[in-house]
A and B are shown apart, each in its own frame.
Chain A
């Protein structure tokens, strides 16, 4: 149980275009979803936290207008990178938790590798 999927697993886009990444909880209701960014050979940095039906809370330094997060249902959150630039190239990982379960655990998706050319 507790499976989180991401789509696509990798994407290449041209500079200036937008790209959407989906994060789905397959077998549980995700009341809270998180988006992390991981640069090559580095740690994960929390970008934002989203609760179903609410606006996302962004970490300091993360541009909310550039990284649009939508958590419209209990099983789906999307991250849209708008007007992407090469410096946005990274590994984006989502995680999800069911805060009603008290398991103190986030379940991570497999990640999406974004390359902006």
Chain B
């Protein structure tokens, strides 16, 4: 069975500081991994996805994530936080690529940006 663990339900950083949101996964097969962002009362927007190509994945809005198989991690980073980055972030895993099977989500991390 798949599972996703997101360390830290809330992360607070200063504007301009590094953003690091942690995600560890458990999967019996090579996983497909995703990061989504959710703004209040809205659906999810895909930030980036790992599909077994390059281990360093670049996404939208300056975010990137690195797949580390040895650590079963897929942490999300952004060099310089912006106020507009304040939102809920979800890490998700899929066995079949996400198109044919449902995603298993982590509990989410609420990112707070301090001015």
A residues bordering B, Cβ < 8 Å? 4, 6, 32, 34, 36, 42-46, 49, 59, 91, 93, 95, 97-99, 101-106, 108-111, 113
Bin the interface of chain B by size: 20 to 34
The answer to whether A46 and B104 have CB atoms under 8 Å apart is yes
CA–CA, A44 to B51, complex, Å?
21
Chain B binding site: helix, strand, loop or mixed by DSSP?
loop
Known: A6-B43, A46-B104, A91-B41. 7 other contacts (CB 8 A): A36-B102, A46-B102, A98-B99, A101-B99, A104-B51, A110-B43, A111-B43
- In the complex formed, the residue of B with least CB distance to A110 is B43
CA–CA, A102 to B41, complex, Å?
29
Interface string of B20-63 (1 = CB under 8 A from A): 00000000000010001000011111100101000000000000
The answer to whether A99 and B100 have CB atoms under 8 Å apart is yes
Q: Which residues of A contact B71 (CB under 8 A)?
A: none
Q: Which residues of B contact A46 (CB under 8 A)?
A: 102-104
CA–CA, A78 to B108, complex, Å?
27
The 7 closest A-B pairs by CB, nearest first: A46-B102, A104-B97, A97-B99, A108-B43, A108-B44, A110-B43, A43-B105
The answer to whether B102 and A34 have CB atoms under 8 Å apart is yes
Q: Which residues of A contact B36 (CB under 8 A)?
A: 108
Known contacts A110-B43, A113-B41; is-contact A49 B98 (Cβ 8 Å): no
Residues facing A in B56-103 (CB within 8 A) are 90, 94, 97-103
